[in-house]
Structure 1
Amino acid sequence: MDFDKLQKISHQIAEQTDEDVWYMNASMDRHTFNEFVQRFNDFKPRGSACLILITSGGDPDAAYRISKLIQNKYEHFKVIIPGWCKSAGTLLAIGAEEIIYGTLGELGPLDVQMGKKDELYGYTSGLDVQYAINHIQNTGFKFFKDSMLNTMRVSRFQVTLKTAAEIATGLAQSYICKMTEQISPMAVGETVRIMGMADAYGTRLNEKFKNLRSQDSLDRLVSGYPSHGFVIDLDEAESLFKNVSYASELYEDVINALGMEGCFPLNEGIMPMIFLLNPLNNSKNDEKEGSSANDETDQANAEGDDKDTASKPGDVEEPTFEGNGSRPSEGNEPDHEGIITDQSSEEI
């Protein structure tokens, strides 16, 4: 990943669109949210935000809060998807005014992942119970119908419809009961509640820019895809969102500068990468430090004037500071052209 090139292109974007360009490659969790807040509260924003987002998913609470923070601070908000942006990342992107795809870009469904009972690792999709119930419902009726008609055919219609229906009912009940006994009512309730959380967050994030085409689009994201890893490419996304497109030449230059390693999620355990790539020079800290440095200089000059007034011929010559005669400020050196790097040590 070429940071110098990323910064240069990001400043070009700012000149043309007045956008702060953020880069986030991290799993969605409380730690990522806290890291983002630290960077988000200590700079002077432009009018719009452009978030380059790479994530494999995670905590929907964290994704919701990050998206709301950006919505509340900026008038306009777009998300660039250079590669993987799954699950909770899709939830965050729902809050954007526009979604921009790179060549390798893909979103994913919002089905909530729940930890497996009595297992240290592994998750199960919130859709598993729903699909199980739908399967039982569909196959149960088919089993009843096939049993009834087969009974009548085998008997050469000597068995009446009523008798065949009673026989098929008993067989279907036995078939269905064995499967439904394995589904816990508590698991059904938990699944409905958690899936409702994704729907509720998505509805709230869509209120500002209304980029989803309809409520049906959100329903499809929550429960309309067969697997958690289902690929939602640009063609599929166009059926879900109003403002979604392939990257323009300028944004494509940003994606190319990321390289392949910058387009896919970090390995588990690696610190989140969260950067503001094109910060304004007059950040809040710079204003405070500049004001403090000016006060110190004025005070030093005032003291020097007092000493000059009180001096007499023959006194020892007053020493001066090297350079322009003012005290050099300390601790104000920018690091890597303003890039802020990470130094800190139920899931969809």
Structure 2
Amino acid sequence: MSRDKRKDLIRRIEEKRNSRLIVFLTSDRPNLGFSISTDIVPILHKHILGIEDSQRSKMDLFLYSRGGHSDVPWTIASTFREYCREGSFSVLIPYRAHSAATLIAIGADEIVMTKKAELGPIDITLNNGPYNPREKKTNDRLPISVEDVTGYFDLLQKIGCERPEEKMRGFEQLTNKVHPLALGTVSRILEQTELVASRLLGTRANPFDEEKNREIVRRLSSEIYSHSHTIHRTEAIKQLGLEQIVKAEDAGISDELWSLYEEYNALFLLDKPFMPEEYLIANGLDENTWNDLSLACVESMNRLDIYRKSLLVRRLRQSQPQVSLNVSNISFPSINIPALPPEVTPEQIRQIVEKIVSSQFQSIVNNAVRVAVNELLKTLPSTGFEHISFNSGWVKEE
């Protein structure tokens, strides 16, 4: 997991490729994933600027991600092209490069893939828009998948709804369940994604003709009916027509690519699900804080940037009992002290003792109540867990 070991692998890939390499990875650790977003662009740019002018002409992007915002791939690919010479921007894929990461890849002049490497469909899912339907029990926003929407209309076609009025009734039935503005958003983002994909394919030094570009985009966006479908390099070449794909073993970097991926796998614990709720239950805790959780990184020979956050997870209980005790009206027994000096009366002694005992007694009771309430809370039914993220952001590692 050492930076030195990763730098050694990066150096070996650069030497074999006669290029400069930048790594971009977003975590897909179960329950601790991260998406490609606009904040990555200035970080990547800083790494490009960290490379000497004379060495920027040919650059490789090592890419591992499950996807993200559909408008970011165009910016990323365009940024690299501003510095590379024509035909010298490549994407290296050791394992997963899905959705928006696939968009970045198809905009490269060359895609180097290992035997395990995967691309994915570029259709979209609207995860939490303001018009998404809500789940009844949790009231959480439900995702809207373009495959589900298009699949619904394909089903109408298959069962014989071909006349305009029949299609309109089918649409009205759908809008009874899903807000029409949410459907419009899905349609708009899909069109945007297809447009970005076409433009990215067109930026290659040796682009395909427009008809082939449209066919590739259509197959990636509409003909694969599951967003979870993985596209290996043989399918990508033969079925999609991505002829710019190069086998990693033919490029002589298969072992280095996979070894570098395994280093990041160990650094980000990608194979180990993050289960904070189970941790609380197993340890009898009502809350715990995890600091400096790693979610993404950009790394090159000259610098390392990691996106981290801290997370507080708290168990929610069914009710919060309100307990209040008043000890001001407690009566004290009579105090008999023999042989008092003439100037000191028993009443004076009694008042002093009651004052001291009362002040100490209230503190003792408060502590006892606090312990009792905490113990009582643990016996109340749990209604779920609250997650609070803080201290999130990119940090340059020294």
Tell me the TM-score range normalised by the shorter chain: 0.5 to 0.7
Give the corresponding residue for 1:40. Answer: 48
Give the Cα–Cα distance (whole angstroms) in 2 for the partners of residues 217 and 272 of structure 1: 29
Conserved in 1, the CA contact under 8 Å of 2:111 and 2:244?
A: yes
User: Aligned pair 1:244/2:239, yes or no?
Assistant: no
Deviations 1:98-133 (CA, angstroms, capped at 9, x unpaired) = 111113210100001112515445522123222211
Conserved in 1, the CA contact under 8 Å of 2:61 and 2:91?
A: yes
Give the corresponding residue for 1:23. Answer: 23
Aligned counterpart for 1:93 among listed residues 101, 105, 120: 105
User: Aligned pair 1:260/2:262, yes or no?
Assistant: yes
Give the corresponding residue for 2:144. Answer: 124
Higher strand share: 2
Q: 1:136 to 1:197 in 2, by over 3 A?
A: same
- Following superposition, the deviation at residue 5 of structure 1 comes to 4.1
- Following superposition, the deviation at residue 86 of structure 1 comes to 0.7
Conserved in 1, the CA contact under 8 Å of 2:71 and 2:193?
A: no
Q: 1:40 to 1:122 in 2, by over 3 A?
A: farther
Percent identical among aligned pairs is 24
Give the Cα–Cα distance (whole angstroms) in 1 for the partners of residues 110 and 168 of structure 2: 48
SS at match of 1:225: coil
Give the Cα–Cα distance (whole angstroms) in 2 for the partners of residues 261 and 15 of structure 1: 19
Unaligned 5+ segments in structure 2 are 27-34, 135-139, 275-292, 308-393
- Following superposition, the deviation at residue 238 of structure 1 comes to 0.4
Conserved in 1, the CA contact under 8 Å of 2:22 and 2:47?
A: no
Aligned counterpart for 2:159 among listed residues 131, 134, 139: 139
- Following superposition, the deviation at residue 18 of structure 1 comes to 2.8
- Following superposition, the deviation at residue 38 of structure 1 comes to 3.0
Give the corresponding residue for 2:60. Answer: 50
Give the corresponding residue for 1:342. Answer: 306
Q: 1:141 to 1:118 in 2, by over 3 A?
A: closer
User: Aligned pair 1:11/2:11, yes or no?
Assistant: yes
Give the Cα–Cα distance (whole angstroms) in 2 for the partners of residues 85 and 225 of structure 1: 16
Using CA pairs below 8 Å that are at least 6 residues apart, which structure has the higher relative contact order? 1
Conserved in 2, the CA contact under 8 Å of 1:238 and 1:244?
A: yes
Q: Between Structure 1 and Structure 2, how many residues are aligned?
A: 256
What TM-score do the two structures reach when normalised by structure 1?
0.65
Q: 1:137 to 1:187 in 2, by over 3 A?
A: farther
Conserved in 2, the CA contact under 8 Å of 1:126 and 1:194?
A: no
- Following superposition, the deviation at residue 68 of structure 1 comes to 1.2
Give the corresponding residue for 1:276. Answer: 300
Give the Cα–Cα distance (whole angstroms) in 2 for the partners of residues 242 and 95 of structure 1: 12
SS at match of 1:341: strand
Give the Cα–Cα distance (whole angstroms) in 1 for the partners of residues 93 and 13 of structure 2: 17
- Following superposition, the deviation at residue 41 of structure 1 comes to 3.2
Give the Cα–Cα distance (whole angstroms) in 2 for the partners of residues 186 and 130 of structure 1: 16
Deviations 1:63-119 (CA, angstroms, capped at 9, x unpaired) = 221111112211211111111111000011111011111132101000011125154
Give the Cα–Cα distance (whole angstroms) in 1 for the partners of residues 260 and 145 of structure 2: 32
Conserved in 2, the CA contact under 8 Å of 1:51 and 1:79?
A: yes
Q: 1:11 to 1:42 in 2, by over 3 A?
A: closer
- Following superposition, the deviation at residue 59 of structure 1 comes to 0.6
Taking the TM superposition and a 5 Å limit, the aligned residue runs for 1:1-348 are 1=1, 3-26=3-26, 27-44=35-52, 45-75=55-85, 76-116=88-128, 117-119=132-134, 120=140, 122-140=142-160, 179-184=170-175, 185-209=180-204, 210=206, 213-239=212-238, 240=240, 241-248=242-249, 250-260=252-262, 262=264, 270-277=294-301, 338-342=302-306, 344=394
- Following superposition, the deviation at residue 43 of structure 1 comes to 3.0
Q: 1:262 to 1:274 in 2, by over 3 A?
A: same
Deviations 1:19-74 (CA, angstroms, capped at 9, x unpaired) = 11111102211222232233333432432111110001011122221111112211
Q: 1:197 to 1:9 in 2, by over 3 A?
A: same
Q: 1:211 to 1:90 in 2, by over 3 A?
A: farther
Give the Cα–Cα distance (whole angstroms) in 1 for the partners of residues 299 and 17 of structure 2: 19
Give the Cα–Cα distance (whole angstroms) in 2 for the partners of residues 205 and 10 of structure 1: 26
Q: 1:2 to 1:121 in 2, by over 3 A?
A: farther
Give the Cα–Cα distance (whole angstroms) in 2 for the partners of residues 70 and 228 of structure 1: 28
Conserved in 1, the CA contact under 8 Å of 2:124 and 2:189?
A: yes
Higher helix share: 1
What TM-score do the two structures reach when normalised by structure 2?
0.57
What amino acid does structure 1 have at the position aligned with 2:172? E
What amino acid does structure 1 have at the position aligned with 2:116? L
Alignment RMSD = 3.0
- Following superposition, the deviation at residue 189 of structure 1 comes to 3.3
Deviates more, 1:207-216 or 1:219-228: 207-216
- Following superposition, the deviation at residue 259 of structure 1 comes to 4.7
Give the Cα–Cα distance (whole angstroms) in 2 for the partners of residues 53 and 262 of structure 1: 11
- Following superposition, the deviation at residue 198 of structure 1 comes to 0.6
Q: Which runs of 4+ in 1 moved over 6 A?
A: none
